[in-house]
């Protein structure tokens, strides 16, 4: 009876360790993916902000374009970056779903 209990305990601990390793690996990849995505988003927002500031410094002060740009709120570049990031995230999610469906059907 003790041998059976030891055998079942060994099997249970083996399955538990495999499951834990699988979840840890998946969590590590997810955290790395999120970190890379946030870094790309920060760079994109910085580029948009730089581009908008370079546009506003190169435009003459008495032009109609400068008057139009002055109507934009101060966080316009951040909003453009966030919207673009949301579109990119949605695209990546759709592509991931398509790849998973191809993998499942194969």
**What are the pLDDT tens digits along the chain (106 aa)?**
778 778 778 888 888 888 788 878 877 877 777 777 778 777 877 777 777 777 767 777 778 877 887 888 888 877 887 788 788 778 877 877 787 777 777 6
Cα 93 from chain centre: 10
pTM, rounded to two decimals:
0.50
Cα 73 from chain centre: 26
| Total of domains in the chain | 1
Q: How far apart are CA 55 and CA 69, in angstroms?
A: 9
């Amino acid at each position: 009876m003790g041998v059976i209990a030891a055998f079942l305990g060994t099997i249970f601990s083996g399955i538990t360790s495999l499951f834990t390793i699988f979840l840890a690996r998946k969590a590590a990849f997810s955290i790395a993916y999120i970190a890379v995505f946030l870094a790309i988003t920060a760079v994109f927002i910085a580029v948009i902000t730089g581009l908008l500031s370079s546009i506003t410094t190169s435009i003459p002060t008495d032009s109609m374009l400068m008057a139009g740009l002055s109507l934009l709120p101060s966080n316009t570049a951040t909003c453009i970056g966030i919207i673009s990031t949301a579109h990119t995230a949605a695209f990546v999610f759709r592509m991931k779903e398509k790849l998973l469906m191809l993998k499942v059907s194969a």
